[in-house]
């Protein structure tokens, strides 16, 4: 079975890539566990890049894991937040080295939360950002209510959360949701160059 998170190191910069491309890198319990373990292994690297393999950065929660037979009790979503999503965001924020999100495609729900938890987010031109919780009767999770309001301001953050509309990478750069939008083939090189600059000294 292939790893759910791939790891690479170059110039003492670690790149962690979510690796469920067939499911748009959406989170399951198993992916949470592998990602948490990978974050714990980063150690004293010069910098960390987080990205996704395939055509998406991260599509949030894999909702197929939440399906239950008719008549069975619904899963405890609060438990999922407290045991997995909140610790994941705190772990990223607590890292001692600079962190960069290299958003290579759709960042949805928790994918937005991961991108905004990093120190700098860069995105490929084909990337997009969306908080769809309102369409599901949920509030945004993975820290995005806090980080979005401090990144783009309260008015835009409210609209993102309540309307569930997608931002293109160019729009995300314009409103300050990310640092820079770059051509798709240049994304990881741009992220690596930023990592080296941030890790200088």
Q: Is 50 exceeded by the pLDDT of residue 143?
A: yes
Domain borders along the chain are: 5-65+78-198
Spatial neighbors of 102 by CB under 8 A, at least 6 apart, are: 15, 49, 50, 51, 122, 123, 187, 188, 190, 191
CATH superfamily, domain at 5-65+78-198: 2-enoyl-CoA Hydratase; Chain A, domain 1 (3.90.226.10)
**By the 8 A CB rule, do 91 and 142 touch?**
no
In this prediction the pTM is 0.89
Q: pLDDT band at residue 78, thresholds of 50, 70 and 90?
A: low
Q: pLDDT band at residue 167, thresholds of 50, 70 and 90?
A: confident
Start-end of H helices in 82-137: 86-94, 110-117
Q: Do the strands 99-103 and 106-108 form a parallel or antiparallel pair, or are they unpaired? A: unpaired
pLDDT one-digit tens code per residue, 21-50: 999 999 999 999 999 999 999 988 999 999
Distance from chain centroid for Cα 97: 17
């Amino acid at each position: 079975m292939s790893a759910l998170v791939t790891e690479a190191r170059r110039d003492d910069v670690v790149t962690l890539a979510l690796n469920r491309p067939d499911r748009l890198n959406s989170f399951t319990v198993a992916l949470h566990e592998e990602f948490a373990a990978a974050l714990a292994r980063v150690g004293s690297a010069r910098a960390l890049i987080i990205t996704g393999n395939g055509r998406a950065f991260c599509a949030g929660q894999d909702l197929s894991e939440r399906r239950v037979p008719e008549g069975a009790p619904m899963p405890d979503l609060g438990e999922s937040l407290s045991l997995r999503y909140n610790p994941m965001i705190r772990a990223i924020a607590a890292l001692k080295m600079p962190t960069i999100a290299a958003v290579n495609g759709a960042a949805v729900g928790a994918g937005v939360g991961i991108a905004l938890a990093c120190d700098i987010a860069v995105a490929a031109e084909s990337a997009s950002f969306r908080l769809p919780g309102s369409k599901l009767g949920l509030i945004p999770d993975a820290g995005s209510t806090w980080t979005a309001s401090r990144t783009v301001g309260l008015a835009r953050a409210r609209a993102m959360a309540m309307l569930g509309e997608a931002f293109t990478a160019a729009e995300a750069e314009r409103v300050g949701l990310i640092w820079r939008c770059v051509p798709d083939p240049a994304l990881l090189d741009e992220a690596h160059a930023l990592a080296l600059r941030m890790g200088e000294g």
